[in-house]
Structure 1
Amino acid sequence: MGTNIMDIMIVDDHPLFREGLKTIISRDQHFAVCAEAGSGGEGIALARTNRPDIVLVDISMPDKSGIQMIRELKDELPQTRFVIISMHSEADYIIEAFRAGATAYIIKESAAGQLIKGLHTVAKGNIFLDGALSQEVVFKLLQTKDDADDGQNDPYSTLTPREQEVMRMLAEGLTAKGMAEQLFISPKTVENHRTNLMKKLGLKNSVELVRYAARLGLINIETWAI
């Protein structure tokens, strides 16, 4: 490829969404899709082979999260920029993505209008944050960046994206069966995630979990009768 064209790899487990991204990218002559993958593991293998300039990656995937994928690749591919495209707009996901090594965060529903702008921004070596994100999320992101050096002292930062999802649902009062249906996993897997996250956070029961989630700003404690 010509020197002015940047190679992009897409990693997302939804084929139709990948097609949509390719259509958007094809409209700009500065970028071209060189590879695509439907899972984190496949994405890692293809990234090592193709060494793309930019990787567009979802957070939630069946085998390995986009954040885990970035952590594994960032040292091997120091010239590659990682752009998260996710349905999640919560501050903790965004913070974790940037800590892992992402250079941009775009919300899926605004990808049509934000993707090209984000690609040009990271191509110049800059950070890009989706304009659709609320000021509250941005403020929390900046505040967390100032208050924590690398997040290693915060137990919440040790949770995987899936464990964070389960934690939110637990705090909101969902049953294991309800969570399993929403996350397309078994109730037994939900219970395993619950056990792991409670251990990591040092919590003993659901009441402590709800209060912990409220302190993080994940839920409104006033809506609960504890």
Structure 2
Amino acid sequence: MIRVLLADDEALIRAGVRAVLAAEPAIEVVAEAPDGREAVEQVRLHRPDVALLDIRMPGMDGLQAAAEIRRVVPETAVLMLTTFSEDEYIARALAEGASGFVLKTGDPRELIAGVRALADGGAYLSPKVARRVITHYDGGHLTRGAQARERIAALTEREQDVLRLVGSGLSNAEIAARLHLVEGTVKAHVSAILTRLGLRNRVQAALLAYQAGLTD
């Protein structure tokens, strides 16, 4: 069972998201919160697999809550709810350790896919969000082209294989199956890649893989 915390200051949005998640038997919403501060407290209490956070909330917003959750309960993955008007927050959310983004107005199946991906140790970007993120980072916020390839040259051949599959959105279990490795070994490779390249999370790793031409 995938355990989820849901935080949004709008009760109607929380009800809608809860209804979407309730349709998936393998997902359980264990707590809700109307703001970031309460979200952090609920994460401390319930230790969910995934914290689903609205970006804009009163008091402590979703970005601040993401940073605090990653600090106090790092095993809880953070999935951000966003809208098309909030592109400027994406870079900040990545820096605070968010592992995925889904649109409030997107396909409900994307929400389910995002929760599943993060619970399985992966990352997830709604396709429409992914295009905007890639466009943003093509502007120079992450290394591009030759610089990206130069950075990944420091990795071993096996680590580059893992990075390529991370960039394709595969979870640790899926990468292990593809490369005929045990999942613990893949997890160790991912950790080494993030450390060596100075990346905060799998989303940044996936973006770097894209910049380096490892993925489409």
Q: Could you state the TM-score of these two structures normalised by the residue count of structure 1?
A: 0.59
Unaligned runs of 5+ in 2: 145-216
The match for 2:25 is 29
Q: Which residue of 1 aligns with 2:143?
A: 146
- What is the CA deviation profile of residues 26-73 of structure 1, one whole-angstrom value per residue up to 9, with x for unaligned ones? 111221000001111111111111111110000111111101011112
Report whether the alignment pairs 1:64 with 2:77.
no
Q: Which amino acid aligns with 2:37?
A: G
Q: Answer yes or no: is the 8 Å Cα contact 1:13–1:39 preserved in 2.
A: yes
- CA spacing shift, 1:47–1:111, aligned 2, 3 Å: farther
Aligned to 2:106: 110
Task: Give the counterpart letter for 1:33 in structure 2.
Answer: V
One-letter amino acid of the structure 2 residue matched with residue 138 of structure 1: I
1:7 and 2:6 correspond: no
- Which residue is equivalent to 2:194? none
1:91–1:138 contact (8 Å) kept in structure 2: no
Q: Give the stretch that moved more between structures: 137-146 or 9-18.
A: 137-146
Query: In the aligned structure 2, how far is the partner of 1:111 from the partner of 1:9?
Result: 20
Q: Which has the higher contact order (CA 8 A, sep 6+)?
A: 2
Distance 1:131 1:93 in 2: 17
Which of 100, 104, 116 is residue 96 of structure 2 equivalent to? 100
Q: 2:49 aligns with which of 29, 50, 53?
A: 53
Cα deviation 1:109-147 (Å, max 9, x = unaligned)? 105231011112112211111112373542323542327
What value does the CA root-mean-square deviation take over the aligned residues? 1.8
Q: 2 CA distance for matches of 1:121 and 1:24?
A: 16
Paired residue secondary structure (1:146): coil
| CA-CA distance at 1:88 after TM superposition | 4.3
Q: Please state how far the C-alpha of 1:90 moved relative to its aligned partner.
A: 4.4
Task: Tell whether the 8 Å contact from 1:94 to 1:141 is kept in structure 2 after alignment.
Answer: no
Aligned partners of 1:13, 1:84: CA distance in 2, in Å? 14
Q: Distance in 2 between matches of 1:49 and 1:28?
A: 23
Q: Which runs of 4+ in 1 moved over 6 A?
A: none
Alignment of 1:80 with 2:81, yes or no, is no
The 3-state SS of whatever aligns with 1:110 is coil
Residues 11 and 56 in structure 1, CA contact (< 8 A), matched pair in contact too: yes
Task: Find the aligned partners of 1:21 and 1:97 in 2 and give their Cα distance.
Answer: 20
> CA separation in 2, counterparts of 1:73 and 1:136?
25
2-side partners of 1:67 and 1:85: how far apart?
11
1:156-175 to structure 2, matched below 5 A, reads: none
Question: How many residue pairs get matched?
Answer: 143
Q: Which runs of 5+ in 1 are unaligned?
A: 148-226
Identity of aligned residues (%): 28
Normalization by structure 2: what TM-score? Answer: 0.61
Equivalents in 1 of 2:64, 2:132: separation in Å?
Answer: 26
